[in-house]
């Protein structure tokens, strides 16, 4: 079993829909990261969180440490949100990130 599991693997949504991407992990972590990767390849760090909830524009990230689960929500989705969203956890000890397989999101207009 992978240490970081994401679901769904693929997601197609209609413009304007509310989107949720889930991430579960099985190791002790210092922080959880949500990353966005566009088709060109470059990676943008969306959130880093270790507890609670963070919001940036239409994006919301939550984490439940007890349940070892995090969600990334996109409100009022738009075609430009189409990308791969990657969950990564920083191990409790050490610097390394462990990555989920990613969720491919396509938002249709």
Question: Judged by CB under 8 A, which of 21, 61, 90, 105 binds another protein?
Answer: 90
Non-local (6+) Cβ contacts of 25 within 8 A are 3, 4, 5, 32, 68, 69, 70, 87, 89, 98
Does position 99 interact with another protein (CB under 8 A)? The reply is yes
Q: Which of these ranges, 12-20, 66-74, 75-83, 91-99, lies near another protein under the rule CB under 8 A?
A: 91-99
Does position 97 interact with another protein (CB under 8 A)? The reply is yes
- Please, which of residues 10-39 interact with another protein by CB under 8 A? 30-31, 33, 35
Question: Judged by CB under 8 A, which of 15, 16, 20, 43 binds another protein?
Answer: 43
With b for 16 or more beta-carbon neighbours within 10 A and e for fewer, the 61-76 pattern comes to bbbeeeebebbbbbee
Name the burial class of residue 101, with classes exposed (0-12), middle (13-18) and buried (19+) by CB atoms within 10 angstroms of its CB. middle
- Please, which of residues 48-77 interact with another protein by CB under 8 A? 48, 50
* Contacts to another protein by CB under 8 A: 30-31, 33, 35, 41-45, 48, 50, 86, 88, 90, 95-97, 99-102
């Amino acid at each position: 079993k992978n240490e970081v599991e994401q679901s769904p693997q693929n997601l197609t949504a209609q413009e304007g829909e509310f989107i949720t991407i889930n991430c579960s992990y099985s190791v002790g972590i210092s922080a959880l990261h949500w990353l966005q990767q566009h088709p060109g390849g470059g990676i943008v760090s969306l959130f880093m969180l270790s507890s609670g909830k963070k919001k940036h524009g239409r994006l919301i990230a939550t984490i439940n440490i007890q349940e070892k689960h995090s969600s990334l929500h996109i409100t009022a989705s738009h075609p430009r949100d189409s990308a791969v969203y990657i969950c990564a956890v920083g191990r409790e000890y050490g610097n390394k990130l462990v990555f989920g397989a990613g969720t491919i999101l396509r938002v249709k207009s």
